[in-house]
């Protein structure tokens, strides 16, 4: 089962909501901000997705979850966003 939170509900409380976490990618939203952060763990970089890109991203992720795709399929989907991951991650 894919660890994807629906409707932005936090599983652990705190200042951020982890939406997806695998060996390769990390997706998080920060309450009060319109968007999600995508981190490529292998390359050590990330991107903040907002607006139309975020809307399309969330819809596609929801579709993958509804199809009960495995983490490999989700990571393959997330790889399509690698070109946007240009910000180096120093701490996370």
Per-residue pLDDT tens digits for 18-37: 989 999 999 999 888 889 99
Which range is least confidently modeled, 10-19, 36-45, 48-57, 80-89?
10-19
Length of the chain: 92
54-67 average pLDDT score:
89
Spans of all domains in the chain:
17-88
58-82 average pLDDT score:
89
Cβ-proximal residues to 13 (8 Å cutoff; 6+ apart), any chain: none
3-state secondary structure 4-22: CCCCCCCCCCCCCEEEEEC
Residue 29 CB neighbour total at 10 angstroms = 20
* Whole-number Å distance between alpha carbons of 31 and 47: 17
Cβ atoms 79, 41 nearer than 8 A: no
| Buried-exposed string 63-91: b where 16+ CB fall within 10 A, e elsewhere | ebbeeeeebeebbebbeebeebbeeeeee
């Amino acid at each position: 089962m894919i660890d994807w939170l629906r409707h932005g509900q936090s599983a652990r409380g705190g200042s951020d909501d982890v939406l997806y976490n695998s060996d390769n990618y990390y997706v998080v939203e920060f309450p009060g901000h319109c968007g999600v952060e995508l981190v490529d763990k292998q390359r050590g970089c990330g991107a903040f997705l907002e607006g139309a890109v975020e809307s399309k991203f969330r819809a596609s992720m929801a579709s993958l979850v509804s199809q009960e795709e495995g983490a490999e399929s989700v990571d393959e989907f997330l790889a399509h966003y690698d070109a946007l991951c240009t910000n180096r991650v120093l701490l996370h």
